[in-house]
Structure formats: C-alpha cells, structure tokens
Structure 1
Amino acid sequence: MSYFINQKIGKYIYVYEVESYWDPLKKQPRQKRRYVGKKDAATGEVITPRKGFVPRSAQDFGHIYLLRHIAQRIGLIEVIQKSFPELTRELLALSMYQVLEAKPLYLCKPWAEVTYLKDPIELSSQRISRIVEELGKVQEVREKFFAEWTHMQKGIRAIIFDITSLSSYSTLLEYLEWGYNRDGEKLPQVNLGLIVGEPRGLPLAYRVYPGSIADVSTLKNIIVLLEYLGVKEFTFILDRGFYSAANIQEMGREKIQFVMPLSFSTALASRLISKHRAALQSPLQGFYYKGRPMFHVKEEVQINDTAVHAHVFHDERRKADEMEHLMRRIVDIEALVQGKEFRRAEDVQAYMEQVFPRSVHLFDLTREEEGFRLIRKAKAISRLMNRMRKTILITNNPALEREELLNLYRRKDVLEKMFETIKNELEGGRLKISSREAMEGRLFLTYLSLILYSELSRVMKEKDLYRSYTVSEVLFELKKLRAVTLNNGKVYLTELSKKQRMLFENFEVPIPVRT
C-alpha cells in the first residue's frame, strides 16, 4: 500500500508517493519514494513536472556537424544527389561513419543510434549489404559521378596517379591474383589506382585492376579516362613504377606534360650519376630548398627518340643519415647471421631477406667450421652509397625550374598518405568481400570517405592544426558536443567549449547554436 507525504524544503512543499516493501536481504521493511510534484501553498494543488522538458536522448553531434558542412561546402552532397538521388542520405551517413569510426560496416547501426542524424535511417547490416551490392552493379552511374565530381573541381593544374595493393582471404573473387604486393603480404590481391587533382588534393576517380597487372601497363587507359573526365592541360605526376619508353612516347604524342623519377636500375640513371658525380658536390651547383642545402644538375637526354630533361638532385645531409643507418644495418646483420645456426645457404639468404630486405646482393656467403659468415661486397655497397639521397626527375617541360619541379614531385606524398588512410583509417586495408559487385560497391564507399578525409586533412595542414592535433583528435574533441532531444521533440546542444569553437572557426564552419 502506498501513501503521500509532504516535505518542505526552503519555501516550497514537495509531494512524494511512498510505498513500503519488505527487503529480503536486510530482513526489514523499507520504503521507496516517487516524486509527484510541488504543492501550491495557496490552493493546495499539486503541480506535476512538465514531462516535455525531460530529456529523451543525448547523441553525439559536433563531429558529424563538421563533416556534413564540409561535404556541403565542397559540393559532395550535390554530386551524390545527382547520381544517387534515392540513396543520398545513406551514402552520406556511411561515408561519414567510415571517417569517424573506421570500423566494419555491420557496426554502423549501433553508431547511428548514438549519433545525431536528424532523420532516422535504416542502416541494418542487411540493408548496408544491399546498398553495397547495388552500388557495385551500376558502373555507368559511378562513372557519371566521377565526371560530375571532376567537373566541379575547378583549376586542376596537375594529376597525381599511383597504384596500391589491397589483399584479401576471399576465394570467390576473380580479380584476386598474385602479384607484387606493396605491403609485403603473402596474399592474393587487387590493385587500386587512384587519381588525385591538384592543387586541392582531392580524389577524382579510381580504377580497379587484377592483382597481377603491373603499374606500367595502366597509364594509357588512365589518359583515356582523364580525357573522358574533361581534364585538359595538366602535368602528370607519376612514380617510378610507370617509367617506360612506351609511356613517355604516349604522353609526348598526347602532348601531356609529366614529372616522374628515373629508376636507378636503368643504364641512363647510372650514366647520369657517374657523369655528374663531381658537379653534385660543387658549390656552383648548390642551392637551398626548404631550409636544406642541396645540389642540382640538369641535362637534356633522349629516351627512344623522345627529348626529356633529366634533373639530378643530391641531398648531402640526408646522405650522411642514410649512410649511418646502412652501416648499422650491415653490422647488425653480420652479427645476427654469425650468432645463428643454418643448415643451408638458402636458409641464410631467406633469413637475411626477412631481417634486412634486399641485403643479399651486398654480401658473399662462405661456410666455415663455426657456420656461415658474410663477406661484404665493396663494389655493391659503394654503388648503393653513391645513389644515396640522389633523385633523378625527368620531365618534358623545359620551363620547370628546380624548386618548382621538386614541389610538384613531392605532391605525390598526398597520394601516398591517402593509401595509408584507406588501409589504416578507413578500414579498407583488407577486402572482406565475396563478389565483384560487393568489391566495387565497397571501394566506392571508401572513395567517398576518402574525399571527406582528404578535405579534413587539407584544411588542418593549411591552418597548421597538425601541430596540436591529429584528425582523430579533432573529431574526438568535437564529438563531445552533444544534441539532447526532449520528450516534446525539441533539441538543444550542450555547452560549446573554447577548443570546439576554435576548431569550428578554423574549418570555417558556422558555430552551431541550434539544430
């Protein structure tokens, strides 16, 4: 049986409903109270609390508010709406989820429940699987998206293109093949080629290749794709894997300017280093680049009747660091081999490749009574030292000066960081798929997420935020700003901290005052 009591606190009288019950643990009667309301002193009426002002839920808000504004500002939402009008909300939510959480897609539903998405979205594991499959089946729509998105990127002056490997345990995907794995994994793979536009540094499009396809053979079709995307009058920035006489002739025929490093395995590279060894130590060839002393020599050369300009750079300070590192590794590998027992020379070489990759050609191997011993090859080590901190860049643009050439080539670091982001930040390093459609759909979602992540990173670099934060730390700080929904449906935000205000201002996003 329950009854009511009045309790005066200060000048107010509060009414509680009291219910008695028997506590079997303490073996004694106890009471529990339920607050009923406040009694009006004049009329004696009990005023119940306004249920509409009771919080119904509190959800993470600040980080997704930032991403939504960035997606709007760079035009990503507009292009998604044009290409996928019926999936716009789902694709935006899934791409933001990958940036914010970097977890498998099947965990998106519990994330959506604690994140303020304004309108509820069905993101069950089954629904996401259907979306991924649907994305993978509509190649023509994905191509339309690439074209619309590239058209929105005004003022493209350079194109960076490179390829990375994505491994998988799947046995059901025909694109998975054995090939050169850039991460050293002993698994079948697909190759992902990514096109990035400069100066914004945002992904434009991508291509998927069977795992056995070599980088050098992909360039001709990429030139065709760029023509379809409407990209004209640009400079191609490529890595050494794309070097071939045929590719250089193709770019010359298409009147495409390019910058790429010359592989040290070529006879031309050996000749240039040998010819200019003295000049690369002459004070007459010295200059400063971003606070570092460097040396530079330029020579016009012919590659299969195509004239290009070879720029040879040497960084003496970094050479000293690399020589110290090399000698330490040489001494270490000698001691390790001498301290172990091996049955065959092949076992020694396999161990050396594991501990010190590509070191086998630096030593002769002899067998003695105590075991195997390494003998240094003077010429091989000297050749390696001579190449240290030397870079040979070739270009068909005679107007490029040394500083501008280095600036252009070092922009490829943007793409290398994108590959790291795909594998480490967006949960895309190991493909967990069972069909080509699922693979294509999954990679398209990763591509959308990479656009958002790249813009985040670009602004952080521009505003010098990397001195104090990582991308994850920025998002975690903003995540603390929450949206509280009341029973009456109204929403308010928790207090905005100084750090959160500073971050929104740096990203030039309006300070949120209400949702």
Structure 2
Amino acid sequence: MPGFISYQKKNDQEYATFCLAKWTGNAKINETVYLGRVVDKENGVFYSKKRGGLFTFSVKDGFGEAPEKEPDSGFGKRKAKRKEVCSLDYGDAFFLDGFLKSTPYYDVFCSIAPDAKDILLSLVYFYILKGGAREHMRDWWDGSYVCLMYPDAVPSGSKISKLYRKLSDPDLQLRFTRKYMEAVLSGSGIHGILIDSTGMPNAISMDKREVWNHDGSCDEGARLIYVCERNTGLPLAARTISGNIIDASTIANTIDDLERVGVCTDFAILDAGYYTDANIRLLHEKKIAFVTRIKKNRKLYKEIFNRNRPGLEDAANLVSFNGRVLYIKKVPCVLAESIEAYSYIVLDTKMQGLESAQALSGPIEDKVNREELERIRSMCGTFMMVSSEELDPSEILPLYYTRGQIEQVFDIAKGSAELLQLGLHSEETFDGHVFVSFLAVIICHLLQRLFLNERMTTSEALGALRNHKCKLYDNGDMVPYESKKKQNLCYDLIKVKPQKKHFDKCPSIWCVLARNSTDDGASQHRCVASSAPPVSSRTLRI
C-alpha cells in the first residue's frame, strides 16, 4: 500500500495519521486516515475509540487485529478518560530518594528492617523534609510524593511506636552498623576519628534521664555520643548514655564498640573532657595516636605552663592560623607517668585582650597585689594541647580544629534531623528515635557535601524542590509539572530527570477522592487501595 504514517505530539502524547498520495487530474493530494494514539510505535500498535480500542496498522499490510497483550507504555490502561485527583509535593522527595539511591548507603538502609522499609524511609524523609511532631507526619505523607514511592508506610501513631521499639533492638543496630561500616570502608575509608558528646534534655521516664552539670550548665536528661570520620566529618556511630556520666569514663566502651564492628582506628582527636591518665594508657596500649586539649586545672598543665610561659611571646614562636596571630611553643612531656608525648602551649593574641578585660576588672577594683594580677594576665588567651606524635607547631591547630566537623554534625542533628523532638514515653522509643535521627544525619551530612561548592545551601535547594509539584490521576498515572532552573540544577547534580510514572498501588485516600470525582459515583479508577486507617480522628501515642 503506497503512503506513509505522520506522527504528531500533543501534551506529551504521540498521535498518528496515515497519509495516502493521490492524483486528481493534474493535482496531487493526500488522503488522510486518523489512526489515534500511538501505543507501540515500533510494532505499529495504536488505540482509537472509534475503532473499538487497540489495533495494528502498517503501510504494507494495512489494518490488523489487536495484539493479545497491550504493550507497556508506561501508563495504566484507560477504559475511560482519566481524571486528575490531586497535586502532590514532588521535587524534594523525588530528589532525596534519588540522591540516597546514588550512594552506597541506600541498600544498607533498606536492610535495617526489610518488612518495615516503607515506613522507615518515610520517617527518615519526614525528619529531613518536614520535621515536627510525628502526629503530623500523616498529613505530610498524604500530600507528598513519598506516599507513591512507599505506599505501604501509611503512618500512624501505633505504627511509628512499633517501629521505634523494633529499631531500639541492640542486635539490629549492631547488624546495621557492620553493614554501614562496610559501605564506608568501600569508599574513601576511615582516616582517624572524632569523638564528642552533647546533652539531650528531656523528662522521659527512663534510667538514662539524670541530672548533669556540663561546662557550667545544669540540666536533666540523657547524653548522646557521636563518632565521626576525621577528614570528612561523616557520622560513623552513635550511642546514648545516662546524663550524669562524665565523658572521660565513656572512651573505653566507645572504642570497644567500634572494634566490634570492624573499625580499628589508628588516630583520634578528643576534647579536653576525655583526658585522663587511664584513657591515655588505653590509647597507648591500642596504639592509637591522639591529639587532645588539657584543662587548666590539671596538674600537668600547671607544671608545663609555669615552666614555659616566660619567653612564650618570642618572635620565633609566631604562627598564623585562619587569620589569627598566635604564639605556639612545643615542649616534650611525659603523660600518665611513663608515656612520652609533646605538649603545645598556645597564646592567642586576640583572645588575650578579650579575656584580660573580663578577668582583670574585678581584681583591679579589689586592689589585688601586682604578682596576682600578673599571674591572671599571663593565663589569659592561653591553652594547651598534647599529642602522642611530634608535630610542627604550625600543624597542631589545623589538626585539632578538625573537631569542628563533629560540632557541625551536632548542629545538623539538632537543626535538621529532629534529634530534640523528644515527644516520647519510654526508653525503647527514645532509642529508636535517636537511631532514626542518626540515619537522617548521615543523609543531611552527605547533602551538605553535595552542595558545598554550589550557589545554594541544602535548605535552599530542598525549599525550591518542594515547589516542584506533580499531578496524580485516578488511574494511578503520575505526571510531574515542568521543572524550573533551580530545580533542574539540583536534578543535574545527581543526574536524574523527573519522569511520568504509573503506580498500581496508591494511598487509599486518593482512591476515595477518585471515586468521589466520577459523575455516577461508581469507581472508575485502577488504583489498588492500601489498608490505610481513616484520615480523621488520628491519635499519636509514642
């Protein structure tokens, strides 16, 4: 049969028309036959209501019977015209899920609780994208693309409580940590660790809630210890302890926990609260090199400082660091009675002036003698660090201040990962919440590194992405709206593009809306309703 098939696109859908050339006298005309929607272009399958549905057509053989099975076109079957049910927040959830899948940690997260994967990932995404009381999670889930990606989640108070209790199991957390460490070691590896703790004020009825006095502040609650990789700040492990346990007594168990999951570190940077003779001997026995600060009230500090403070402000000791001018003097020392090490006495000229104004005003008014004033002045702006390895004075501060990485991780945990949203009622749910927050911290930290050299922060990017919506139809088809420049920049970073999809399983709330949207009240949609509880009268008790 002479002729050709012409294809046209309209609203992202392709349609076809058969054109047949004919001569009428001296004029050449095209007779056209409308074929309908293109279902399978390669095999010549089309759909037209006027022709009774599916059929085949080719230029050579003409019209043919419909194929036995409709080819997969990416959408659901349409026996009736689909109707738009709702618009969902799309970009932030789609981007977050795509980003996690681009890392080696997605499979690790999915292996934590395979039978509760949907609710776990939904909860982690809620911590990052929305936050707040978990009783509002269902409202967020109903309006987010997460409800299509993980339709079995259907969050409720009892379901979240059950998940928290499941995640509090020490054996489950140990299995996760081992798999997580394998994923970390498969990448850049671990080059030393940072250890620090932070307070978690709360009034939960549990053994870990105790009164503490930390750095002059008094509060009641538990404490959280984080271990991070030194170079990148990537969170490696987390554990909770009673609020009244001092930092120095936790280092042995923390290192033991790391060794149980296969982390044999050779370098540690510690805050001053972890310095004791017992801890120094432990690190020395395990051949772990270390750098730590020493508090001014320790005997070692006073002995070294009194001997070496005179002459500290010599030009030979000048060091520039991060725009600051400091004097640093290296002095060999002995720790824990027998371990050779090196101490570094530091005088910060900027802090010296600020601390002097505050420290000397009272003694001057009290007319303290000259010797005491000189002693107070000499202490202002000074601090001391010790290292098990000999370092150049210009290297000690950049190395020690990598501790800022773990402080940033604590900021992420409290500001972006819902660590302090402690509306909980038992120690089990508390431990489960801390574990979910730790998972959220890992993702947030990786996101910060992703946007480190970009023109937007993580929060700006997720805010812009949330404005990218998608349409959901009553037959399960999902169609994203057109994305804007900022949104495209984010998608390009992880090399993904929004695409139309068909979902055989949708949340029951949208199935209800779809039924109500039909003219005769009959169910015209093709969604498979999940077993969701009623939307109204939801109560969360954790």
What is the TM-score of this pair, normalised by structure 1? Answer: 0.74
1:84 maps to 2:108: no
Give the alignment partner of residue 483 of structure 1, picking from 447, 470, 475.
470
* Partner-residue secondary structure (3-state), 1:83: coil
Q: Is the 8 A contact 1:106 1:128 kept in 2?
A: no
Q: 2:412 is matched with which residue: 418, 421, 433?
A: 421
Residues 109 and 286 (structure 1 numbering): CA distance in 2 closer, same or farther, change over 3 Å?
Answer: same
Residue of structure 2 aligned with 1:435, choices 421, 426, 430: 426
1:189 to 214, 218, 221: 221
Counterpart contact for 2:102–2:494, Cα < 8 Å: no
* Whole-angstrom distance in 2 between the partners of 1:166 and 1:397: 35
- The Cα of 1:508 is off from its aligned counterpart by 3.4
Paired positions, count: 415
Alignment deviations for residues 116-154 of structure 1 (CA, whole Å, 9 cap, x no partner): 022422111221111112222x21111111111122112
After superposition, the Cα gap between the structure-2 partners of 1:235 and 1:101, relative to the gap in structure 1 and judged at 3 Å, is: same
1:27 maps to what in 2? none
Q: CA deviation at 1:110?
A: 0.6
Separation (CA, whole Å) in 1 of partners of 2:421 and 2:215: 13
How far off its partner does 1:217 sit?
0.5
What is the deviation of 1:103? 0.7
2:484 is matched with which residue: 497, 504, 509?
497
Tell me whether 1:167 sits opposite 2:201 in the alignment: yes
Separation in 2 of the partners of 1:318 and 1:502? 43
Matching residue's letter, 1:316? T
Q: Distance in 2 between matches of 1:54 and 1:401?
A: 71
In 2: Cα distance, 1:416 partner to 1:441 partner: 23
Alpha-carbon spacing, 1:504–1:404, altered in 2? closer, same or farther (3 Å)? farther
1:174 CA drift (Å): 1.7
| Cα pair distance change 1:386/1:501, threshold 3 Å | farther
2:334 paired residue number: 302
Specify the alignment match of 1:103 in structure 2: 132
For residue 201 of structure 1, give the secondary structure of its aligned residue in structure 2. coil
Pairing 1:508–2:499 present? no
**Offset of 1:280 from its aligned partner?**
3.3
Match of 1:176 in 2: 209
Change (3 A) 1:220 1:487: same
Secondary structure, aligned partner of 1:457: helix
Shift of 1:479: 0.8
Task: Give the C-alpha shift of residue 436 in structure 1.
Answer: 1.7
Shift of 1:239: 0.5
Of 294, 298, 302, which aligns to 1:262?
294
Secondary structure of the corresponding residue to residue 264 of structure 1:
coil
Counterpart secondary structure, 1:178? strand
| Higher mean C-alpha deviation, range 229-238 or range 217-226 | 229-238
Label 1:375 to 1:484 Cα distance change in 2 as closer, same or farther (>3 A): farther
Question: Which letter does structure 2 place at the counterpart of 1:162?
Answer: D
Aligned amino acid, residue 93 of structure 2: I
User: 1:379-418 alignment to 2 at 5 Å?
Assistant: 383=375, 385-398=377-390, 400-418=391-409
Deviations along 1:46-89, one digit per CA (max 9) or x if unpaired, are: xxxx9745432211122222221332233222112233211222
Question: Does the 8 Å contact 2:329/2:393 carry over to 1?
Answer: no
| Structure with the largest fraction of helix | 1
Could you tell me whether the CA contact under 8 Å between 1:301 and 1:308 is conserved in 2? yes
* 1:424 Cα deviation after fit: 3.3
SS at match of 1:280: coil
Please name the residue that 1:446 is paired with: 437
Structure 2: which amino acid aligns with 1:175?
K
Structure 1 distance, partners of 2:170, 2:96, is 27
Corresponding letter in the other structure for 2:442: I
Instruction: Tell me, in whole angstroms, the C-alpha distance in 1 between the residues paired with 2:134 and 2:159.
Output: 11
Match of 1:315 among 339, 348, 354: 348
How far does residue 323 in structure 1 lie from its aligned partner after superposition?
4.5
CA RMSD of aligned residues (A): 2.7
Q: Which of 227, 241, 252 is matched with 1:209 structurally?
A: 241
Q: Give, in angstroms, the shift of residue 382 of structure 1.
A: 5.6
2:175 paired with 1:144: yes
Q: 1:60 to 1:181 in 2, by over 3 A?
A: farther
- Structure-2 separation of matches of 1:380 and 1:490: 80
Report the CA distance shift for 1:384/1:504 in structure 2 as closer, same or farther (over 3 A): farther
Aligned pairs for 1:38-57 (under 5 A) are: 52=81, 54-57=83-86
- Equivalents in 2 of 1:288, 1:181: separation in Å? 32
- In structure 2, the CA distance between the partners of 1:247 and 1:75, relative to structure 1 (3 Å rule), is same
Contact 2:193 2:227 in 1 (8 A): yes
AA of the residue aligned to 1:395:
S
Give the equivalent residue in structure 1 for 2:54. Answer: none
Does structure 1 residue 283 correspond to structure 2 residue 315?
yes
The alpha carbon displacement at 1:249 in A equals: 0.9
Change (3 A) 1:52 1:376: farther
Q: Give the share of equivalent positions with the same residue, in percent.
A: 22
- The offset of 1:375, in angstroms, is 3.6
Unaligned runs of 5+ in 2: 1-78, 502-542
Match for 1:198 among 230, 243, 246? 230
Q: How many angstroms apart in 1 are the aligned matches of 2:299 and 2:348?
A: 22
Q: Give, as a single letter, the amino acid of the residue that structure 2 aligns with 1:454.
A: H
Preserved contact between residue 295 and residue 314 of structure 1 (Cα < 8 Å):
yes
Cα offset, 1:428, TM superposition: 2.3
Q: Supply the distance in 1 between the matched residues of 2:383 and 2:267 (Cα, whole angstroms).
A: 19
Q: Which moved more, 1:194-203 or 1:267-276?
A: 267-276
The one-letter code sitting in structure 2 at the alignment partner of 1:491 is M
Change (3 A) 1:385 1:475: farther
Label 1:53 to 1:375 Cα distance change in 2 as closer, same or farther (>3 A): farther
1:340-379 superposed matches below 5 A: 375=366
Unaligned runs of 5+ in 1: 1-49, 332-361, 365-373
CA distance in 1, matches of 2:476, 2:280: 63
Equivalents in 2 of 1:501, 1:279: separation in Å? 59
SS of 1:252's partner is helix
Whole-angstrom distance in 2 between the partners of 1:459 and 1:385: 46
In structure 2, the residue matched to 1:38 is none
Q: CA offset at residue 318 of structure 1?
A: 4.1
| Equivalent residues of 1:312, 1:391 under 8 A apart | yes
Kindly state the Cα deviation for residue 181 of structure 1 after the two structures are TM-superposed. 4.4
Give the Cα separation in 2 of the matches to 1:502 and 1:445: 29
Q: TM-score, normalised by structure 2?
A: 0.71
SS of structure 2 residue aligned to 1:255: coil
Residue deviations 1:15-74 (CA, integer Å, cap 9, x gap): xxxxxxxxxxxxxxxxxxxxxxxxxxxxxxxxxxx9745432211122222221332233
